[in-house]
Chain A
Amino acid sequence: MSSLLEVRDLTVQLKMDAGPREVITGTSLDIGEGEAMGLVGESGSGKSMTAKAIARLLPDGAHVTGSVTFDGTDVLALSGDALLKHRAQVAVVFQDPRAHINPVRRISDFMTESLRILDDVPKAEAVRKASAALEEVGIDDPTKRLKQFPHELSGGMLQRVMIATALLSEPRLLLADECTTALDVTTQAEVMAILDELRRDRGLSMLFITHDLELAGAVCDRTCVMYAGQIVETSAASRLHEDPLHPYSAALVQARPDINSTAERLVAIPGRPVSAFEAPAGCRFAPRCPHAYAPCADNEQVLTDLDGGVVRCARAEFLRGKLLDGSHV
């Protein structure tokens, strides 16, 4: 069975003031129909850029190699009308809804814009659809909300509007880029619940980007962990939390304080996360890895299959099952 989305060996270089800088190195992932894939990493890991590459939203001057295939089409080669069509099929829900919605236009304008301009839907019908979509995401009195401006709605409500709008155009793939990070925890839970429910109802595929491993585990089928522009582990989401294969994933799990127990010291990964272009040769995580030894820095790490998942670590098999012990091996 071929996947809806296939990313193979994606490498992205961005044009920065100091010159071209690599942010994603040789990344591959698959998302099947109706599957939710989590993409977890810290800042600079390249996770947002991966989503942008899939949606063809990379900034000017970006240099991309590898392939992205969506429903059999080569995404990277698209241009003109075909490119617009592709973008319409891949819906993105962004992080800060207030910045991502035009403040001087009404909510109804924002929601129905795609329908009216791309699908030639008459205004009255488009508004009706928008109203129904707002009810689906749990917004009361949709008629009133549609007439309002973005500054009259709260952040949580705006994010629901974003989700509703994303689903209105009936996309095949949903890219959620840290869409709950800007919200407070309670709202976050509500929005996640809505997103999850609607996605399952429609059998939508989703790429869920977050820095929160546990959150990914709650709504996704599989999860990828990215570090310094590379995928270091891909596993079933639930398994990742209990039984990580890569030291970095383990560190992420351990860094999250458990609400049920008291810790003497908060666990933190020493050093700071690096981007692809700042990373050393050999294993990119080696400088911060508690299990690293000399050969790690010397050898490029490759993805290998292990026990139903893939992992980029030469010591993975050796470290199997011992990563969450807290012992240094």
Chain B
Amino acid sequence: MLRFIARRGAMLVATLLVASFAIYGALYLAPGSPIAALTGGRTVPPEVMAQLEARYHLNEPFLTRYWIWLTSALRGDLGESIPLHEQVSTLIAQRIGVTISLVLLTSVIIIVVGVGLGIVGALGRGTVDTGVLFASTVSAALPAFAAAVILQFVFGVMLGWFPVLGTGDGFVDGLRHLTLPALALAATSVALVTRVTRTAVREELGREHVQTAISRGLPWSGVVQRHVLRNAAIPITTVVGITIASLIALAAIVETAFGLNGLGAYLVQAAQNKDFAVVQGISLVLVFAFVITNVVIDIAYALLDPRVTLGSRAQ
């Protein structure tokens, strides 16, 4: 078990190194000189140019520059946004709260609604199951931006139940502002989780070891808890983990659609403004979050399924 975690940890570090290298290196793929990319084509006075050259060590070999960037990043210094003259880390810190709240709320919706409906559909009879299937098919067809637009129109403009833009003040108002975005973000994920949960629970219900438990005279609720759900938890946890990991990137769409000033929306703006330091910084944070989430999924899987010794979970 410990060996498994160590292996995954090593892969995590390796992946992050290569990913950060790619993020840093992308700067140099841009047409024109690195300075031009950093300044985004704006004209800057010569003192600033000299400052930039010193700051980015442009006289030094590429690998050194990369290493300096990476080590500073690990210490929390992600450089400076040239157009805004602010530390990237400050800019990120100002916005990360919104993104985290959004992802958290969405995750709760996915787990409660997705897994809940899946179990209800698998354990229930005919009509309940059909209802669950229908709802999940509708939900599956709505990618984040589609759901965002529809929800904004129906619940925001037409019915006026929820605000459509901005983050609001305070906890309750903030929650109201996050409701539609979280629902839009959750739509396709809920559908996938519901389907996988339903299939997993159904399959477990048909397994022989469940029949053994029944044959011993154990009450049905105990059998469902200890054998059906416990075993189905393996694929369910995996799919929940994967969908939550995907939220990290998809949040950008919903944040943009609903005017939330989170990391995702800011990343998009920075890309449009060619504010390269910010793009690098946020990309690093997002990739880091994504990879860590995947490692957590792998560990959870190994904890739930004792048959996994070495190697990764079955994809």
A282 to chain B, nearest CB (A): 36
Chain A's interface size range is 20 to 34
Q: How far is the CA of A111 from the CA of B136 in the complex (A)?
A: 39
Contacting residues, chain B, for A105 (C-beta < 8 A): 226, 230
Distance in Å from the Cβ of A20 to the closest Cβ of chain B? 19
Choose one: A96, A99, A104, A113; the contact of B216 (CB below 8 Å): A113
User: Contact: B215 with A84, CB < 8 Å?
Assistant: no
Known: A94-B208, A113-B226. A102 touches B216 (CB 8 A): no
B306 contacts the other chain (CB 8 A): yes
- CB of A85 within 8 A of chain B? yes
* A84 in contact with B209 given A102-B231, A104-B234, A104-B304 (CB within 8 Å): no
B218 touching A114 by the CB < 8 A rule? yes
| Residue pair A104, B211 in contact (C-beta under 8 Å) | no
Highest count of chain A CB atoms <10 Å: which of B217, B219, B226, B305: B217
Contact A87 B216 (CB under 8 A): yes
A114's nearest neighbour on chain B, judged by CB, is B216
The answer, yes or no, to whether A291 is at the interface (CB within 8 Å) is: no
Given A104-B231, A149-B306, CB of A57 within 8 Å of CB of B208: no
Q: Which of B207, B306, B307 contacts A99 (CB 8 A)?
A: B207
Assess whether B211 is in contact with A100, with CB atoms less than 8 Å apart: yes
Q: Name the contact of A57 in the complex, choosing from B214, B218, B230 (C-beta under 8 A).
A: B214
Given A102-B231, A151-B307, are A92 and B209 neighbors across the interface (CB < 8 Å)? no
Using an 8 Å CB-CB cutoff, how does the interface string of B296-307 with A read, 1 for contact, 0 for none? Answer: 000000001111
B222 interface residue per 8 A CB criterion: yes
Is A13 an interface position by the 8 A CB rule? no
Please report the C-alpha to C-alpha distance between residue A178 and residue B261 in the assembled complex, in whole angstroms. 66
A87, B207: Cβ atoms closer than 8 Å: no
Which residues does chain B contribute within 8 Å of A117, judged by CB atoms? 218-219, 222
**Chain A residue, CB-CB nearest to B228:** A102
CB pair A100–B212 under 8 Å, yes or no, is yes
Query: How far apart are the CA atoms of A91 and B216 in the complex, in Å?
Result: 7
Q: Check if B91 is an interface residue, CB within 8 A of chain A.
A: no
Q: Check if A96 sits within 8 Å of B208, measured CB to CB.
A: yes
With A103-B307, A149-B306, A149-B307 in contact, do A84 and B217 touch (Cβ < 8 Å)? yes
Q: Within 8 Å of chain B (Cβ to Cβ): is A86?
A: yes
- Which partner residue on chain B sits nearest A151 by CB separation? B307
- Answer yes or no: B227 CB below 8 A from chain A CBs: yes
B217 touching A86 by the CB < 8 A rule? yes
Cross-chain contact B209 with A103 (CB below 8 angstroms): yes
Whether a CB of chain A sits under 8 angstroms from the CB of B213 is yes
Known: A99-B207, A102-B227, A104-B234. A113 touches B213 (CB 8 A): yes
Report if A121 contacts B (CB, 8 A): no
CA gap between A105 and B304 in the complex, in Å: 10
The proximity string for B residues 185-214 relative to A, scoring 1 for CB distances below 8 Å and 0 otherwise, is 000000000000000000000011101111
For A87, the chain B residues whose CB sits under 8 A away are: 214-217
- Closest-by-CB residue of A relative to B219 is A84
Residues of chain A within 8 A of B212, CB atoms compared: 92, 94, 100-102
Q: Tell me whether A100 and B208 are in contact (CB under 8 A).
A: yes
Residues of A contacting B215 with CB < 8 Å?
55, 57, 87, 90-92
Query: What number of A-B contacts does a CB cutoff of 8 Å give?
Result: 71
A113 touches B218 (CB 8 A): yes
Binary flags per residue of B273-314, CB closer than 8 Å to A gives 1, else 0? 000000000000000000000000000000011110000000
Within 8 A of B (CB), among A178-216: none
* B218 closest partner in A (C-beta): A117
State A169–B215 Cα separation when bound (angstroms).
Answer: 12
Q: Which residue of A lies closest to B230 (CB)?
A: A104
**A13 and B181 alpha carbons, distance in the complex (Å):** 54
* Chain B residue with the shortest CB-CB distance to A118: B217
Q: Which of B207, B211, B218, B304 contacts A84 (CB 8 A)?
A: B218
- Is A88 an interface position by the 8 A CB rule? yes
In the complex, chain A residues whose CB is within 8 Å of the CB of B208: 94, 96, 99-100
A183 to B211, CA, bound (A): 21
Least CB distance from A62 to B in Å reads 14
State in angstroms the CA–CA spacing of A101 and B215 once bound together.
12
| Contact residues in B for A92 (Cβ distance below 8 Å) | 212, 215
A91 / chain B contacts, CB cutoff of 8 Å: 215-216
Residues of A within 8 A of B209 (CB): 99-103
For A104, list chain B residues within 8 Å (CB): 230-231, 234, 304-307
Residues of B contacting A57 with CB < 8 Å? 211, 214-215
Please indicate the chain B residues that have their CB under 8 angstroms from the CB of A113 in the complex.
Answer: 213, 216, 218, 226
Which of A88, A94, A96 is B217 in contact with, Cβ under 8 Å? Answer: A88
Contact partners of B213 in chain A: CB under 8 A: 102, 113
Q: Which chain B residues border A89 with CB–CB below 8 Å?
A: 217
Residues of A within 8 A of B307 (CB): 103-104, 149, 151
Chain A, residue nearest B309 (CB): A151
Which chain A residues border B217 with CB–CB below 8 Å?
A: 84-89, 114, 118
Between A and B, 16 residue pairs with Cβ closer than 8 Å are A57-B211, A100-B209, A100-B211, A100-B212, A102-B209, A102-B213, A102-B227, A102-B230, A103-B209, A104-B306, A104-B307, A105-B230, A113-B226, A114-B216, A117-B219, A149-B307
Q: With A94-B212, A99-B208 given, can you name 13 additional A-B contacts, CB distance below 8 Å?
A: A57-B215, A87-B214, A88-B216, A89-B217, A91-B215, A100-B208, A100-B211, A102-B213, A102-B230, A113-B216, A113-B218, A117-B222, A169-B216
Task: Please report A residues at the B interface, Cβ cutoff 8 Å.
Answer: 55, 57, 84-92, 94, 96, 99-105, 113-114, 117-118, 149, 151, 169
> A-B pairs with the 8 shortest C-beta distances?
A88-B217, A87-B217, A99-B208, A84-B217, A102-B209, A100-B212, A92-B215, A100-B208
